Copies of this chain bind each other. A is one copy, B any other.
Amino acid sequence: MLYFCGVISQSIMEKVDKIFEAALSLFTTKGFHGTPTSEIAKTAGVANGTLFHYFKTKEDLINNLYLKVKNEMVEESTKGIEKIESLKLKLEYLWSKTIHWAMTNPQKIFFIQQYMYSPYITSNTQEEVDKIKEVYTDLIQEGINNHEIKEIPVELIYNIATQQLFGMIQYLVVNPEKYHDSEFMNIAFNLFYDILKKN
């Protein structure tokens, strides 16, 4: 994938990004099958064939898009976390950063939810995603070792925490005024933290 290269001409960068942008919007609203590659190209303002210079197939496009969005979510929510000392504050940092990212990128979070279990996402991509999630599971494992988090399988905690976070985001998308209610958000975080914390 050329777009991972560091030094690339501006115009090429722009084209790939426009394709990603168009694909994100269209896949989310119309579905994978409901979106012709021709429409993606048209929306992106490039020629039909150009799309296939950057992505071997349509599936290749959605898989790369999925990885890119997942990466972005993790990067955005973990950026600066190393400065924080206590585990609880780290978790709160992650939790609120993730929610912030979701609230400012509703289409992206919706895209993730929609294609998480879709058969278009290959197992190869899933494995890549699994590597990314180690950032989170390592933190959980550390908390277990320090007796701050319950002694429960890491995978289970991760699943439950992630899913619960998604449930919270869903609620905030429908009730965005709550997002600015700090008292509510405080209670909400404790709903999350209480599951993890020991005793």
Tell whether, in the assembled complex, residue B119 and residue A191 are in contact, meaning their CB atoms are under 8 Å apart. Answer: no
Residue A69 CB within 8 A of the other chain: no
Interface string of A73-111 (1 = CB under 8 A from B): 000000000000000000000000000000000000010
Residue A162 CB within 8 A of the other chain: yes
Interface string of A154-177 (1 = CB under 8 A from B): 011001111110111011001100
Tell whether, in the assembled complex, residue A171 and residue B155 are in contact, meaning their CB atoms are under 8 Å apart. Answer: yes
Interface string of A167-197 (1 = CB under 8 A from B): 1101100110010000000011001001100
Assuming the contacts A118-B31, A191-B195, asked whether A160 and B167 have C-beta atoms less than 8 A apart, the reply is yes
Complex contacts, A159 vs chain B, CB 8 Å: 167-168, 170-171
What is the size, in residues, of chain A's interface with B at 8 Å between Cβ atoms? 38
Tell whether, in the assembled complex, residue A119 and residue B34 are in contact, meaning their CB atoms are under 8 Å apart. Answer: yes
Residue A57 CB within 8 A of the other chain: no
Q: Which of A133-160 contact B (CB under 8 A)?
A: 150, 152-153, 155-156, 159-160
Q: State A20–B27 Cα separation when bound (angstroms).
A: 26
Tell whether, in the assembled complex, residue B175 and residue A153 are in contact, meaning their CB atoms are under 8 Å apart. Answer: yes
Shortest distance in angstroms between A193's beta carbon and chain B's nearest beta carbon?
11
A113 nearest in chain B by CB position: B117
Selected from B119, B163, B174, the residue in CB contact (under 8 A) with A163 is B163
Shortest distance in angstroms between A154's beta carbon and chain B's nearest beta carbon?
10
Complex contacts, A118 vs chain B, CB 8 Å: 31, 114
Complex contacts, A188 vs chain B, CB 8 Å: 156
- Can you report 18 residue pairs joining A to B where beta carbons are below 8 Å apart? A31-B119, A114-B117, A150-B191, A155-B171, A155-B174, A155-B175, A156-B167, A156-B188, A159-B167, A160-B168, A160-B191, A161-B167, A163-B164, A163-B166, A163-B167, A164-B164, A191-B195, A195-B195
